[in-house]
Structure 1
């Protein structure tokens, strides 16, 4: 199976707001961003995060797609749509020190996010009737899938750059994986 993971295109976030589960609009002129993408049309299945920034991309290319809640970005809870600089230090500093285990205020930690994302991933790769799949999602989700495939420490997931509107292509064959392309 060939799996294409694409991050939604750039968002409009001049205030540097914290967002994950929250809806964040795509930047002005996002249609031009969509038109610049090189997308295939021969997917056996297309799955999208429920976030509008992902569904708009699927709609633009007129894909018939399923929405899966497990493909959402991290839930930042009470931090959602706050400026990063406005999040109290006593809340954010413990998270900065251990974002893997420390929950965001009213949200989730990385272990919880990993559990839901990998639940979806494992379900997908068990399907034997699919040859080519597209997942439209977020940087955090893509990083977690790469972390699972490549088995690097979870603490290092932010060392992987996932660009807006770019794909990661992974091949799966009988439980063996190869990462073919990143940020294409």
Structure 2
């Protein structure tokens, strides 16, 4: 990773290479997006800073063709991973499989084994973190997504994770609730 960064943007910094590797998990298109952002910025923001996260989010958003996949990624970034059923439930999109396959081709995440003959889609960690933060900005929608995720996790035998999402749903402040 360090050699790639040095070749692409002319910065030989092992800490930067480790930060990029950790943030992108090595997904090729995601690494490329970060490289482009760093070269355009002309300097390196502190990893995990608001500036770093904003830069990375802007790059990923620019890879999405329009608002439909942007909303889809935002909604499906709430759970740790999604199958077709949960993705459809969270987004209402009739072709969740098609969108998840598009996202995989574009380096947003990958299909991983989950249950027998049923894979789940898992976003690269920094993508999930970035878009999950965006999802949390809409408290009502985020609360619904947490509740749906809790039910899905519980139904799939992940009781501890289900409880964590149920608690998150219950403690999400609602802007429409009376103060």
Greater strand content:
1
Higher RCO structure, 1 or 2 (CA under 8 Å, sep 6+): 1
Greater helix content:
2
TM-score w.r.t. structure 1 length?
A: 0.24
Rg bigger for which structure? 2
